[in-house]
Amino acid sequence: MKSGLCLLVLLFSCFILFAQEDAWVYLTDKQDVVTSIANPISILTQKAIDRKNRHGVSIDARDVPVNESYISQLKGETGITVLAKSKWFNAVHVRGDLSDIQALGGLSFVNTIDFADKNLNTTSKFSKEKRVSKLEGSFTTFDYGDAANQIEMFNGDALHQHPSNYTGTGMTIAVLDAGFPKVNVMSSFQRTRTAGNIKGSYDFVNRDTDVYTGTTSNHGTWVLSDMAGYIENEFVGTAPDASYYLFITEDGTSENPVEESYWVEAAERADSLGVDIINTSLGYTTYDNSNYSYTPSDMDGNTAYITKGANIAFEKGMLLVNSAGNSGSPSDPWQIVGAPADASGVLSVGAVKFDGTYADFSSKGSATQPTQKPDVVAQGEASYIINENDEIATANGTSFSSPILAGGIACLWQALPDKTNAEIMQLVRESASQYNAPDFFLGYGIPNLEAALNVALSVDSNEIESKNMRLFPNPFKDELYIKLPVQGNTNELHIYDVLGKGIKRYKLSSISSKIDVSTLLKGVYIAKVTSDNHSKIFKIVKQ
């Protein structure tokens, strides 16, 4: 009888929970857009402005905050709770009864309403959206101890040992995760704290700055340790001298699409603070309320709210590194990379074992995804981490392959500060062990960051010799653009396969040419652009 009563209580509680719907409310306009863009310091930090200027990223209406008067009005509507906001989408995440949310459509400043339950999007004010996996569960020399293999695998240690000591100095990484217990007191983060490299923190779930106590997960502490952790002669993270922002966006007590909204809000804040790299060891595929869940076909790089947010973050100039997911096991019905790792603007990181072979839990890519997934891999099985008790331990998951590599990439970008996020991502891909033959298990393979640095430096030198010939975009689909510095007498583009066999030859009629390459099959090619006595070689990828 008692157990029956408990069951009734549980069922009633679930009914009350699912009677409340989640939705994104998109707004019609913003306040003082022109004035704000003309005075960007009013909406962004100087570091953010400098980063955008350095990489040619425009400041636009998406950088202007949501109109707070609209938010106040929404909060005053019957039965409505506002949980998150997004300036990039000019939207707020609300929760309430179906009828109360539908009533918001009558407000003059509401453009559209997107229910997390796609079955409810039936009228002109209601359009479509969708769903999330979970936690993907100043020294010149370092003794890496137990952590040696995971950095040596991609030659990140060579960047640390470079005469210029590329250890992440000057780079800022935002870690979006589920909780960072004891990071503020652990001895293994003392080096980072003493240097003033914990720049700030915020809990978007509970709306306070305390990310260290009362959290529902220790996951963020483990993740951060792989980048910032330091125990002399025993453990060194991959970016020990980078700066960090610690943001909680994952609610460990439940799975709900509001976590996607928290993530987007945190990414927006990271952008406004001038963050260079976002590491996310989270992924989203299915929810507690199955009506909100995604399907594998939704992992198409542009369906999930968080994925679309990640693509905007990439447009804003940040480099996003995300765990591919832990759904690759044959017994797991999901299998493929989740959101936001499915985004084309995200460098998704799968997992390998100590010896560089595939870890069978690592989520796979799919032919339905618009770009190669995973992009690359790093050690994720038996990865060494530092737990909240200052103990070195091992853990499995792409949750750890992601930050291990993200820290290394921060060091690479430190060495190449004039490169854009897209250029750094491409250098990492091209340096990987199976770049010419990617697959759905390892993507392009294990990167070699030392080689990436050397290639970048040699290419920069070659660009001077070849007078800065350019070929873009890369990867490409149906068209390639070639830009020459001057008009030569003989200008040509030659396309070869990876074995060196000639495929196509095109005459270039002007300094700027657009070439139709729609007939090329998907794959990796070598492109050679020649102009009189100058030539340049490119590796290119047809999607």
252 and 401 part of one domain? yes
398 and 418 part of one domain? yes
Residue pair 179/220 in contact (Cβ under 8 Å)? The answer is yes
343 and 279 part of one domain? yes
Query: Residue 472 and residue 524: Cα distance in Å, rounded?
Result: 14
Examine residue 40 and state whether it is found in any structural domain, yes or no. no
Q: What is the largest CA-CA distance in the chain?
A: 92
Examine residue 48 and state whether it is found in any structural domain, yes or no. no
Structural domain containing residue 279: 148-457
Examine residue 133 and state whether it is found in any structural domain, yes or no. no
Q: Among positive and negative, which fits the CA dihedral 164, 165, 167, 170?
A: negative
Q: What does 359-414 look like in DSSP terms, one character per residue?
A: PTTSPB--TTSSS-SS-EEEE-SSEEEE-TTS-EEEE-SHHHHHHHHHHHHHHHHH
444 and 472 part of one domain? no
What local confidence, expressed as pLDDT, does residue 534 receive? 73
Query: Residue 30 and residue 37: Cα distance in Å, rounded?
Result: 12
Counted residue by residue, the chain has a size of 543
Q: What is the CATH number of the domain that holds 123?
A: 3.30.70.250
Q: Where are the beta strands (DSSP E) in 106-241?
A: 110-115, 126-127, 172-177, 198-203, 230-231, 235-236
Examine residue 351 and state whether it is found in any structural domain, yes or no. yes
Backbone angles phi, psi at 391, to 5 degrees: -110, 135
- Coil, helix or strand at residue 459: helix
Examine residue 482 and state whether it is found in any structural domain, yes or no. yes
The domain boundary, picked from 98, 127, 156, lies at: 127
202 and 156 part of one domain? yes
The domain boundary, picked from 127, 159, 176, lies at: 127
438 and 471 part of one domain? no
What CA–CA distances, in Å, run from 352 to 60, 220, 357, 394? 40, 21, 5, 14
Query: Residue 16 and residue 61: Cα distance in Å, rounded?
Result: 39
160 and 295 part of one domain? yes
333 and 368 part of one domain? yes
- Coil, helix or strand at residue 75: helix
Examine residue 329 and state whether it is found in any structural domain, yes or no. yes
Query: Residue 224 and residue 395: Cα distance in Å, rounded?
Result: 13
The count of other CB atoms within 10 Å of the CB of residue 315 is 17
Written as one letter, the residue type at 443 is G
Residue pair 324/337 in contact (Cβ under 8 Å)? The answer is yes
In the numeric block, the tokens 């997107």 are attached to: 114
In the numeric block, the tokens 């000057």 are attached to: 170
Residue of 96, 127, 131 lying closest to 111 (CA atoms): 127
Residue pair 382/394 in contact (Cβ under 8 Å)? The answer is yes
Examine residue 14 and state whether it is found in any structural domain, yes or no. yes
420 and 329 part of one domain? yes
- Taking the CA of residue 76 as centre, how many other CA atoms within 13 Å lie in the half-sphere pointing to its CB? 7
* 277-325 pLDDT, tens digit each: 999 999 999 999 999 999 999 999 999 999 999 999 999 999 999 999 9
- Label residue 516 exposed, middle or buried (CB < 10 Å: 0-12, 13-18, 19+): exposed
Give the H/E segment covering residue 427.
helix 421-430
Q: What is the CATH number of the domain that holds 527?
A: 2.60.40.1220
- Taking the CA of residue 183 as centre, how many other CA atoms within 13 Å lie in the half-sphere pointing to its CB? 33
- If you compute the radius of gyration of the chain from its CA atoms, what whole number of angstroms results? 24
Domain count, the chain: 3
What local confidence, expressed as pLDDT, does residue 459 receive? 58
453 and 305 part of one domain? yes
Which residues are within 8 A (CB) of 505 and not within 5 positions of it... i.e. 6 or more apart?
492, 493, 494, 495
Examine residue 53 and state whether it is found in any structural domain, yes or no. no
Predicted model pTM: 0.80
Query: Residue 230 and residue 195: Cα distance in Å, rounded?
Result: 13
152 and 101 part of one domain? no
195 and 292 part of one domain? yes
List the chain residues with pLDDT less than 50: 1-16, 124, 127-134, 137-140, 461-467
What CA–CA distances, in Å, run from 29 to 52, 67, 71, 112, 332? 24, 8, 12, 12, 43
Cis peptide before 473 (omega within 30 of 0): yes
Residue of 444, 435, 448 lying closest to 409 (CA atoms): 448
| Strand 235-236 with 243-248, pairing | unpaired
